[in-house]
Amino acid sequence: MPENSPALDAIDLKILRELSQNARITFTELGKRVGLSTAAVTERVRRLEASEIIKGYSVQVDTKKLGFDLEVLIRLQAPGERWSAIIKLLKGYSEILECWNVTGSDSYVFRVMLRNTEHLQKLLGTLSMHGTLNTSLVLEKSVDHSPVDYLIQQNQK
């Protein structure tokens, strides 16, 4: 565990695992699964939220069922003086789900959901004016680990 991380015990890790699998679980059921009373588990969850270890709760959606048939990773290589303008541009596209400023030859890597290849072509046309692009179509997600899985593994060593 990194030095600046708050100490998490085995019960905290069990709570995080359960919540990462089902964030809608009741405190009563969560308490049963981790061996605590409802009040005790509620207090622990509130502490994890207050310390921002739990930053929020979300819904996972099947984007294909919503009509977005393509998931694409786009790498953009651009000079540093263009970065602030590029970020402003990228924030205007809600189909860009995530964007990372990275080391190496690329400046940014972003994950995009798109309806079809025409949608992709239009987006690439706009972005290509700002730098060199490299695009990869996501075929499948082969590994999907939670950070909680890693913490539990490290705690067991």
pLDDT in tens, 89-104: 999 999 999 999 999 9
What SS3 state is found at 81? helix
The Cα 91–Cα 134 span in angstroms is 19
pTM above threshold 0.75: yes
Amino acid at position 100, single letter: W
Q: For position 5, what pLDDT does the model report?
A: 54
Confidence class for position 18, pLDDT limits 50, 70, 90:
very high
Domains and CATH numbers, the chain: 10-58 (1.10.10.10), 63-137 (3.30.70.920)
